[in-house]
Structure 1
């Protein structure tokens, strides 16, 4: 397949999967429940954080998270009491438990109260062609308040060679603006050109079969390699190809 043929093939698959129907089976449906900016970005961040494992269980537990916050994420973050946090103790999704959930709520409050909110924090350290340093700095800020060490593993650091799949996916949700209805595109201060593909086992396997990726591990170096190839296909919106790679892997078993 020539580069031109590959681009045409992937562009066709983006159109096929980047549709409203995609939302029904994806955790991106959680931030779509809300209309206020802060609710959307908090709901998105929390649901993206637990987005690993069975997709139906991810969505079910994400809905449970919202219910535990009275379906008012921003209000809960900013005005929760100790008793409210105790109510989160029952929550569990794989290794993310109620203690982690409570810690996340307190860290989010610190970010909104003292650092201007999630968009401000992520936009502060952005680079023209990468959000990886920004994610690294975000993690440092997120855990600047007292917390248990165990909770740190739930925010990846790409500068430690993590693929940071969930946080890259979250940034795609918040930043991409293509009017297709899937990605919310509510953050205007960061360019989609800086986004990285949310690399997982599905997109990684498809990328290798299409010779977009040679590295065997799905890690930070693999993300950098894939980013380079996807930017050749579309420098302004490289991460739209996540729809193609993920769709081919999950829905077509490519």
Structure 2
């Protein structure tokens, strides 16, 4: 399907409008952080939910909700105030290859981020580049694991500088940074702008992007992400990642 740039933009803008609204939340993992109103609760709930966002969407949502129950529905308070004995209850958690040991490590690393580095937003903002947060994700991973940690847990935080498309973290950053009053993304991180975001690239969005001529590279890796980014920025340099809604919706809901 080869459309002229102007036609493609019109087509995708219509799809963004169709999917980027509160109805989208009903079937999407973003509903989990939407249970909270405090900034730190939203960003921690969002980070943990995005971390396990692979596989069946229903099981992602169910397991992310289990995480919130285990954190007493007060993620920020749990992260910053927990005693070691509070962590034992988390041992039972499992989602695919993310288990209780990983969950406990994440809580300890998040505590370190809030106590020593002024929280998640500050860490991602510190190394942000004008048109990319991929360096930020790399630096975030270093800080996240600068405390004693299990080697096995490191695979649950992607590193774009090691060729990963880092789909889940890019999705998380979209949640936190995009603010278009559509009621889906939160837009609670003012120190960063939607222009810096990259599209969460997965099987669905990748396949749709290839069919539309937005992506030629076969693998869904960091190089493919850079190619897709460049093409989406031609359509809207200020908010390229709004097209995630179009690509995802076309792939998942329309079987495009």
TM-score range, shorter chain: over 0.9
| Mapping of residues 1-254 of structure 1, within 5 Å | 1-254=3-256
Q: Kindly report structure 1 stretches of 4+ aligned residues shifted beyond 4 Å.
A: none
TM-score (norm. length: structure 2): 0.99
Residues of 2 paired with 1:61 and 1:84: CA distance?
A: 19
Residues of 2 paired with 1:187 and 1:224: CA distance?
A: 23
Residues of 2 paired with 1:12 and 1:237: CA distance?
A: 15
Name stretches of at least 5 consecutive residues in structure 1 with no aligned partner.
none
- CA-based RMSD: 0.4
Name stretches of at least 5 consecutive residues in structure 2 with no aligned partner.
none
TM-score (norm. length: structure 1): 1.00
Q: How far off is 1:82 after superposition?
A: 1.5
Q: How far off is 1:84 after superposition?
A: 1.1
Q: How far off is 1:83 after superposition?
A: 1.6
Residues of 1 paired with 2:21 and 2:36: CA distance?
A: 19
What's the secondary structure of 1:35's corresponding residue?
A: coil
Residues of 2 paired with 1:45 and 1:150: CA distance?
A: 19
Q: How far off is 1:81 after superposition?
A: 1.4
How many corresponding residue pairs?
Answer: 254
Q: How far off is 1:29 after superposition?
A: 0.6
